[in-house]
């Protein structure tokens, strides 16, 4: 995917990107995405859902089969115990990159080349920046020209094309430009969710195509190559649109599981520990599936003694499970972690 000289600027030929098959799939994908956007509102506090989905995405985008291979690594991700493994650090950095993109988008309503560079820099932890394609010189003007064209297309393209079709086009273009020495795939997937948000198709970053791509990785690369070689866009766009539909449906299912578990946890606590029940406390257990006494103190504004009493009681009634890490005690929302299949 490095043949920059052959890569055409956007837009592509509309006759190749708006076929009957594509338009039919756009309807299904847009419907599923709209339902996902609505479902997200059922979860109180966006931070909770963003944290949970982004953690899952960070795991899917890393080379780790499961995020936590040991209890120690589960707590390491919170930077409690120090000595992070490179794989866990990769997950933390990817999570930071998503949050940076979300913040920049909220500030500016679009993503610039500098934002893309900053996102990639966090993901790969180096400052090499945009690669040079001219041997023995530091000339990366051709890449910058293509990136500028891509940004302009994403911002001001006023054709009748659905934003979902444009997302497929932009993702192809970014992966084909391959602007960085490393981290292009992960950066590209962050940009995809930011584009959905920029077009008001999502309010928060909760749809990522990584799990879908991982399950269909051969098709992903074959279809990218097919566009490059034959300028045949249909199968590639259908692949991305089907991914949006599939992942939207799966994410809706996960949101429903989380919501049901949240409601059930509230009911159990009200029944078995009415004296400590607080809506904010239950929501905190879902925003942070593993929690320390200090987090309860900071978030709820209570004294240490009260925070300790809350967590001890929640463990006693089976809502949490404690684990000693060094001198600290961590409380796990094990049912939520099992629901997310994070470890």
Cβ atoms 261, 309 nearer than 8 A? no
Query: Of 343 and 339, which is predicted with more confidence?
Result: 339
Question: The tokens of 6 are what?
Answer: 């052959």
Cβ neighbours, 10 Å, residue 125: 12
Q: Tens digit of pLDDT for each residue in 59-91? A: 777 755 444 444 445 444 544 444 556 766 777
Mark residue 136 as left, alpha or beta (left: phi above 0; alpha: psi -120 to 50; beta: remaining).
left
Domain over 4-250 is classified CATH 3.40.50.300:
no
Structure-block tokens of residue 201: 């198709």
- Express as a percent the part of the chain with pLDDT over 90: 65
Burial bucket for residue 247 (CB in 10 Å: 0-12, 13-18, 19+) = buried
**Binning pLDDT at 50, 70 and 90, where does residue 280 land?**
very high
Annotate 257-287 with b (16+ C-beta within 10 A) or e (fewer): ebbebbeebbebbeeebeebbeeebbbbbbb
Q: Which of 7-11, 243-247, 290-294 has the lowest mean pLDDT?
A: 290-294
Give the model's pLDDT for residue 49: 82
**pLDDT at residue 262 above 60?**
yes
- Every domain range in the chain assigned CATH 1.10.3290.10: 4-250
310 burial type by CB count under 10 A (0-12 exposed, 13-18 middle, 19+ buried): buried
SS3 content of the chain, % helix, strand, coil (to 5): 65, 5, 30
Instruction: Check pLDDT > 90 for residue 24.
Output: yes
Kindly indicate the confidence band of residue 5, based on its pLDDT and cuts at 50, 70 and 90: low
Distance spanning both ends of the chain, measured CA to CA: 35
52 close to 27: Cβ distance less than 8 angstroms: no
How much is the pLDDT for 313? 97
Q: How confident is the model at residue 148, as a pLDDT?
A: 95
8 Å CB contact between 180 and 187: yes
**pLDDT averaged over every residue in the chain:** 87
The model's confidence at residue 338, banded by pLDDT at 50, 70 and 90, is: confident
Q: What is the pLDDT of residue 329?
A: 86
> In which residue ranges of the chain is CATH 1.10.10.10 found?
273-340
Q: Which CATH architecture has domain 273-340?
A: Orthogonal Bundle (1.10)
Q: In Å, how far from its chain's centre is CA 239?
A: 19
Predicted pLDDT at 4: 72
Q: Is the dihedral of CA 118, 122, 123, 129 positive or negative?
A: positive
189 phi-psi bin (left φ>0, alpha ψ -120 to 50, beta other):
alpha
Q: Whole-angstrom Cα distance, residue 267 to residue 131?
A: 55
Is the Cβ–Cβ distance between 198 and 60 less than 8 Å?
A: no
- Three-class SS of residue 325? strand
Burial classification of residue 118, based on how many CB atoms lie within 10 Å of its CB (0-12 exposed, 13-18 middle, 19 or more buried): middle
Cα–Cα distance for residue pair 253/99, rounded to 1 Å? 23
Place of tokens 């940009």: 191
Burial of 249 (0-12, 13-18, 19+ CB in 10 A): middle
pLDDT band at 212 (very low <50, low <70, confident <90, very high): very high
């Amino acid at each position: 995917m490095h043949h920059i000289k052959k890569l055409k600027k956007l837009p592509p030929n509309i006759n190749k990107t708006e076929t009957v098959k594509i338009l039919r799939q756009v309807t299904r994908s847009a419907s599923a995405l709209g339902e996902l956007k609505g479902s997200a509102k059922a979860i109180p506090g966006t931070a909770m859902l963003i944290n949970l989905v982004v953690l899952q995405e960070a795991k899917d985008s890393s080379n780790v089969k499961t995020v936590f291979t040991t209890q120690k690594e589960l707590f390491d991700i919170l930077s409690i115990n120090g000595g992070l493994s490179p794989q866990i650090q990769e997950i933390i950095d990817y999570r930071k990159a998503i949050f940076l993109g979300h913040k920049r988008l909220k500030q500016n309503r679009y993503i610039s080349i500098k934002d893309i560079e900053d996102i990639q820099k966090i993901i790969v932890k180096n400052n090499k920046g945009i690669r040079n394609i001219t041997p023995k010189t530091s000339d990366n003007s051709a890449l910058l020209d293509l990136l500028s064209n891509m940004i302009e297309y994403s911002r001001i393209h006023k054709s009748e094309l659905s934003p979902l079709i444009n997302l497929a086009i932009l993702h192809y273009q970014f992966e084909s430009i391959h602007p960085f020495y490393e981290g292009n795939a992960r950066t590209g997937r962050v940009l995809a969710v930011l584009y959905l948000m920029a077009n008001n198709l999502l309010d928060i970053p909760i749809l990522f195509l990584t799990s879908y791509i991982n399950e269909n990785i051969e098709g992903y690369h074959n279809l990218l190559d097919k566009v490059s070689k034959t300028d045949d866009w249909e199968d590639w766009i259908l692949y991305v649109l089907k991914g949006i539909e599939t992942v939207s449906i799966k994410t809706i299912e996960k949101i429903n599981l989380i919501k049901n578990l949240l409601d059930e946890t509230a009911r159990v606590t009200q029944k078995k520990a009415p004296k400590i029940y607080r809506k904010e406390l239950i929501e905190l257990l879902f925003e942070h599936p593993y929690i320390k006494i200090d987090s309860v103190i900071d978030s709820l504004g209570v004294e240490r003694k009260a925070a300790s009493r809350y967590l001890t009681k929640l463990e006693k009634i089976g809502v949490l499970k404690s684990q000693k890490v060094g001198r600290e005690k961590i409380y796990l929302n094990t049912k939520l972690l099992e629901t997310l299949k994070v470890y």
